[in-house]
Amino acid sequence: MTSILRWVPTSLVSSALRCTRTYSTHVDVKGKGKATTTAAAEDGEWETVIGLEIHAQLKTGRKLFSPASTSYGDVPNTNVNLHDAAFPGTLPQLDLNAVRLSLMTALALNCTINPRSTFDRKHYFYHDIPASYQITQHYNPLARNGRIQIDKGDNGSSRIFEVGIHQLQIEQDTAKSQTVGSSVLVDLNRAGTGLMEIVTEPDIRSAEEAGAFVKKLQGLLRRVGSADGDMEKGNLRVDVNVSVHKRGSPFGTRCEIKNINSVRFLQAAIESERRRHIEHYLNTDTPLAQETRGLNELTLQTFPLRSKEEATDYRYMPDSNLPAMVIDPAYLTKLRDQLPEMPWQSVERLMTEYGVTKRDVETLLGLDEYEARGVKYFEDVVGGNRSVAKRAMNWIVHETLGQLGKLNKSWSPTIIPPALMRELVASIENGAITGTTGKSIVKHLLSLPSSVDPTTELDSVLSRLGIHISLDPSASDDDGGEGLSEMCLKAMGNQPKAVIDYKKGNEKVVMRLVGEVMKISGGRADARKAKTVLEELLKA
């Protein structure tokens, strides 16, 4: 079915769209005209408790119960199957790939897989769900009791802690709404898209920790291949539950902020709620109302949507059209064996095996979060030789990526084939070519309009650039060129003041003479050897 309707108008406007009041951090106390105690006061006495509900769109290319496409940015209401539009008599056809990807994610999160999971109908009447019920997993979700560790320093986290995963379930997404004038228009392209809902335990204690968790989860989803985690496109959305209490006392009233679509907004919503709760407890005796709230992305303040006490009775019931899913233990074993190395595992392994820095490994991981091609490239370059690992990392991360950034070009493992990079690093390591020459080679290779042939050898690149092998101190000018000693003598003649300063005891000026040698040699000389020869000549 192509287009049932284009941006369909409806008179049903949600309370989120009707409500415009935002929370102000400065209010009058009981009408007495004096300023409230602010949230900053006595802040250290309070603890924030945070739990997240994350909705991640499954990367399957089709909807959960219909073959309609899930491509982003298409004309509204063009990717709509009869089942998505809830035509009578249509039946759901479960996408087994969505189940596979969800199981992989659950295993990566160290969850216990439910051997028998079921689908339920969550009933409510709303303009973004044509059937007036959502197919989800309420009673028997796919997986429970997982965990993920956040390390100190991970995206701003100040402590090491574990976030428990309460459950992971598969469900349908709703349609997309847009307000135009006094109407709400509905695009059904997203309706029926497969989601994983990942619900955490209330183990998070700050906005920074919440951001660290979401970023780590994004890396996990991308590495597993189950979701792209793109919050800007709405492919990953977060509902955050926040409560505040004095340390040592019971948890406070929990409020939920819906549909956060960036880490920055997530942290702003938590901070806004934290301050609002503290100020309420400091300045009023009435209980804090439990409610669902939204975030004003302009003011970064939360505002009320609806009261939790008035929440609809969803009348959950088993979906009669979908049988229970029974997971074969042998299938789970197969999926577990297929799990790739997680990003934080790559960081730990490379730091341990090669002595490289966490920051450099994270830079490699950032080149391709889905397949970790940067990590594989580094290990191909090193070839198991731990002694050159740090130098190889420097040439990949700092030299190659640095020059690519200046050229505004993207990295790929073929732009400088790993075998050629390995030969380049080895030649610099043994002094056959200098670092300056190496930089010239990298700059030349990156300037080429296409990737380098993987069979290309360093000698052919040097020949193409007219670069000869580095000079030896014993080399003579028998072949028409200058030896290193002759170049050092010429450098001393060009820099007489440096020679005088050195003989007066200022030995640091020898580096000025080394620079002159490099200039004379066109970058071909070995700087370390040049320094040795210069010192011998100056002391003679």
Identify the pLDDT of residue 307. 74
Residues whose CB is less than 8 angstroms from the CB of residue 328 and which lie 6 or more positions away in sequence, other chains included: none
**Dihedral (CA of 394, 395, 396, 400) sign:** positive
Identify the pLDDT of residue 484. 82
Identify the pLDDT of residue 469. 60
State the pairing for strand pair 176-180/183-187.
Answer: antiparallel
Give me the residue spans of the domains in the chain. Answer: 32-279+287-326, 341-475, 480-539
Residue 349 has pLDDT above 50, yes or no: yes
Q: Which residues pair with 47 in a beta bridge?
A: 245
Identify which has the larger pLDDT, 438 or 27. Answer: 438
Q: What confidence tens digit (pLDDT) does each residue in 363-415 have? A: 999 999 899 999 999 999 999 899 999 999 999 999 999 999 999 999 999 99
Tokens of 244: 């505040």
Q: Which amino acid belongs to residue 247?
A: R
Q: What is the DSSP letter of 35?
A: B
Q: What confidence tens digit (pLDDT) does each residue in 155-208 have? A: 778 899 999 999 999 999 999 888 888 888 999 999 999 999 999 999 999 999
Average pLDDT over residues 499-525: 85
| Other Cβ atoms within 10 Å of 184 Cβ, number | 20
Contact status, residue 427 vs residue 458, Cβ threshold 8 Å = yes
For every residue of 309-322, DSSP letters joined together read GG------EE-TTS
Q: What confidence tens digit (pLDDT) does each residue in 218-276 have? A: 999 999 999 999 999 989 999 999 999 999 899 999 999 999 999 999 999 999 999 99
Ranking 72-76, 205-209, 471-475 by mean pLDDT, the lowest is: 471-475
Q: What confidence tens digit (pLDDT) does each residue in 180-190 have? A: 888 889 999 99
pLDDT confidence band for 308 (50 / 70 / 90): low
Identify which has the larger pLDDT, 369 or 25. Answer: 369
Identify the pLDDT of residue 295. 95
pLDDT confidence band for 38 (50 / 70 / 90): low
pLDDT confidence band for 43 (50 / 70 / 90): low
d(CA 472, CA 488): 12
Q: What is the DSSP letter of 226?
A: S
Identify the pLDDT of residue 528. 77
pLDDT confidence band for 435 (50 / 70 / 90): confident
Q: What confidence tens digit (pLDDT) does each residue in 274-291 have? A: 999 999 999 998 889 999
Contact status, residue 189 vs residue 78, Cβ threshold 8 Å = yes
125 Rama sector, left if φ>0, alpha if ψ -120 to 50, beta otherwise: beta
Average pLDDT over residues 9-31: 37
Q: Helices marked H in 284-395 — which ranges?
A: 329-338, 343-354, 358-367, 373-382, 389-393
480-539 in CATH: which number? 1.10.10.410
Query: C-alpha distances in angstroms, 181 versus 9, 176, 372?
Result: 11, 16, 46
Tokens of 193: 């898209």
Residues whose CB is less than 8 angstroms from the CB of residue 34 and which lie 6 or more positions away in sequence, other chains included: 28
Identify the pLDDT of residue 73. 86
Query: What mean pLDDT value characterizes the chain?
Result: 86
Q: Is the pTM of this model over 0.85?
A: no
Q: Of the candidates 400, 392, 522, 537, which has an alpha carbon nearest to the alpha carbon of residue 470?
A: 522
Identify the pLDDT of residue 37. 52
Helix (H, G, I), strand (E, B) or coil at 278: helix
Q: Which amino acid belongs to residue 127?
A: H
d(CA 159, CA 203): 12
